[in-house]
Amino acid sequence: MAEPEPTLVPVQVGEKRGCPEDQEDDPLSKRPRVDNDHKNVGQSNQNVEGEPECEGSEEEEAGETFADMMKHGLTESDVGILKFVSNHEGFSGILKARYSDFVVHEINKQGRTLHLDDLSIPAESEDVTEAQEKPNESDVLSEDQKQQLSELQLFENKEGSVSIEVIDDSKEKRTQVHKAIKMQFPGLETKTEEKEGRKFIVAYHVAGKKALAEVKTAAAPRKHFWPQNRGSFCHFVLYKENKDTMDAINVLSKFLRLKPNMFSYMGTKDKRAITVQEIAVHKITAERLAHLNKCLMNLKVGNFCYKNHPLKLGELQGNHFTVVLRNISGTDEQVQQAMTSLKTTGFINYYGMQRFGTTAVPTYHVGRAILKNNWSEVVDLILKPRPGAEKEYLVRCRETWAKTQDPEAALKKLPNKRCVEGQLLRGLSMHGKKNIITAFGLIPRNNRLMYIHSYQSMVWNTMVSQRIRAFGLKAVEGDLVLRGTTAHVLTAEEADIHSIHDIVMPLPGFDVIYPSHPVGEGYRKMLSADGLDIDNMRHKVKDYSLAGAYRRILLRPSDVSWEVIQYDDPRISLIHTDTEKLESKPAPVFNKEGKYRALRMEFSLPPSSYATMAIREVLKMDTSIKKQTQLNTVWLN
pLDDT for res 2? 41
The angle that helices 445-471 and 363-371 make with each other, rounded to 10 degrees, is: 100
pLDDT for res 202? 87
> Is the Cβ–Cβ distance between 442 and 540 less than 8 Å?
no
The one-character DSSP state at 136 is -
In three-state secondary structure terms, 289 is helix
H/E run at residue 403: helix 392-404
pLDDT for res 50? 35
Which one, of 381, 436, 390, lies nearest residue 413 by Cα? 390
Contacts of 582 (CB under 8 A, 6+ apart): 116, 117, 119, 302
- What's the per-residue H, E or C state across 168-199? CCCHHHHHHHHHHHHHHCCCEEEEEEEECCEE
pLDDT for res 630? 65
Which position among 22, 26, 35, 270 bears the catalytic label?
A: 270
The answer to whether 270 is a known catalytic residue is yes
Question: What is the CA angle 306-307-308, rounded to 5?
Answer: 135
pLDDT for res 358? 63
pLDDT tens profile 535-576: 999 999 999 998 999 999 999 999 999 999 999 988 889 999
Q: How far apart are CA 28 and CA 314, in angstroms?
A: 12
pLDDT for res 36? 38
Which one, of 14, 8, 5, 7, lies nearest residue 628 by Cα? 14
Q: How far apart are CA 538 and CA 545, in angstroms?
A: 4
The ranges of the chain with pLDDT < 50 are 1-64, 66, 125-138, 209-223, 635-637
H/E run at residue 600: strand 596-605
Q: How far apart are CA 192 and CA 173, in angstroms?
A: 12
